[in-house]
Amino acid sequence: MLLDTASLYFRAFYGVPDTRRTADAPPTNAAAGLLDMLARLIREHRPGAVIACWDDDWRPQWRVDLIGSYKEHRVATGDEEEVPDALQEQIPLIEAALVGLGTPPVGVPGYEADDVIGTYATITDAVDVVTGDRDLFQLVDDSRGVRVLYTARGISKIQFVDDSFVEEKYGVRPDQYADMATLRGDSSDGLPGVAGIGEKTAASLLRMFGDLDGVVAAAADPTSAISPRIRASLKASADYLRAAPSVVRVERGLSVPAVPTGLPQPDVALLEAIGAEFGIMNSVRRVLAALADQTSEE
């Protein structure tokens, strides 16, 4: 099980009430919510191993160099991501809790969690990617048992994303998804896309011409079955279409630690100390119980 950790703790922060009784008490809702999510994921989906993938660089400069607008609207000051103070305060607590759980965050300098996930999903089979980010649909591969547990509707209403889900919803195969996203654009990531090409048109073009290179080649061929309007838009976006694929496609060849061979081995004393200090002992107990239950059955 590969965790898109930031996606999960952002969801926990906004989904779990802040129950602090005094203004000077440290916020803990994101940390407690993340542990509760992990308890449920472990209990219900029974992973053989868990990796908490981490954004060592949430907006890598090499991606910005290719597409200057990449995540630009999410920048607060300098290169820092705009994160609520009450969440920012909890990130060290979240890291410490993950270490105590036996799932220390795994990141790679200069890369996003998506790239870490892409690498692990490429070097091992039978993978569940837990995320609220559609970009990772490009990793889905039934032949290798790679699927996405999509959390956009919440942990209790996870959608299982496999080949047929992607094909039925978007009209493309998972291996075409990144090319579709490039053509369509994505406002949440600051990717403009090609003017006049939405999701359905992008999917239609990819079904006709196979991949982005095929679409670009068809746009340059006056005999191809592309309307004059779409042809003009594709030609006008030539620079964008050369740069964007490297931004949209996740990296798959990073140097990462070996895949764990079993369930996390928690440092119970450390995790309980964290739980007691920060008042999240109930969440700590739930995730420890989920691990213990699965371990005892194995």
∠ CA 224-227-232, nearest 5°, is 95
The ranges assigned to domains in the chain are 2-163+251-289, 174-248
Say what the pLDDT of residue 168 is: 98
Q: Residue for token digits 């079904």?
A: 207
pLDDT at 298 over 70: no
Q: Are 112 and 247 in contact (CB under 8 A)?
A: no
Q: Reply yes or no on whether the pLDDT at 76 is more than 90.
A: no
Question: What kind of architecture, by CATH, is found in domain 174-248?
Answer: Orthogonal Bundle (1.10)
Instruction: Calculate mean pLDDT across residues 95-104.
Output: 98
Beta-strand runs (E) in 12-169: 51-53, 127-131, 146-150, 159-161
The residues with which 51 forms a beta bridge, in sequence order, are 2
Digit-coded pLDDT (tens) for 138-158: 999 999 999 999 999 999 999
Looking at residue 128, what is its pLDDT?
A: 98
Q: What is the CATH class of 2-163+251-289? A: alpha beta
For 83, the token pair is 């994160």
* Number of residues written out for the chain: 298
Q: What is the pTM of this model?
A: 0.96
For every residue of 242-283, DSSP letters joined together read: HHHHHHHSPP-----PPPPSSS----HHHHHHHHHHHT-HHH
Amino acid at 242: R
